Amino acid sequence: MPTTTEKLLADVVSTIHERGAVYGHPYYNHKRISELWSAYLNHPVTASQVALCMALVKVSRLSESPNHEDSIKDGLAYLSIYKSVLDAEMDTAFTWGAD
């Protein structure tokens, strides 16, 4: 029988796959967001920084509502996405699902 943690992580993986089917590989989605944020802020923001900032939004929400399961799942998802996006940024040959 799966543990609570295993169920939580399975839900996170499922959500990441569902979102990937809609938005494509996280790198490209976060790259688009980083370009918008960079233009708005007039300061460069990387795709991986977007993922970290989104995780921080979830941490902030958890400070107010520590038991809100969706924020916990979303925070875990964004940290996982951060790793994928960071790997893509560092891989000069990365072309998976290019836009």
Whether residue 12 is contained in a domain is answered as: yes
pTM, to two decimals: 0.86
Instruction: Count each helix (H run) and each strand (E run) in the chain, helices first.
Output: 4, 0
Q: What is the per-residue pLDDT across 22-71, written as a single tens digit (0 to 9) for each?
A: 988 899 999 999 999 999 999 999 999 999 999 999 999 999 999 999 99
Is residue 99 domain-resident? no
Is residue 95 a part of any domain in this protein? Answer: no
Within a 10 A sphere around the Cβ of 11, how many other Cβ atoms? 16
Task: Kindly state the tokens that stand for 47.
Answer: 């795709």
**DSSP 8-state secondary structure symbol assigned to residue 46:** -
Contact 57, 82 (CB under 8 A): no
Residue 46: name the closest of 32, 62, 60 by CA.
32
Q: What is the pLDDT of residues 3-36, one digit of tens each?
A: 999 999 999 999 999 998 998 889 999 999 999 9
Measure the CA–CA gap between 88 and 93, rounded to whole angstroms: 9
Counting every residue written for the chain, the total comes to 99
**Number of domains the chain contains:** 1
Boundaries of domain holding 82:
4-90
- Give CA–CA dist 48/64, Å, rounded: 25
Contact 45, 38 (CB under 8 A): yes
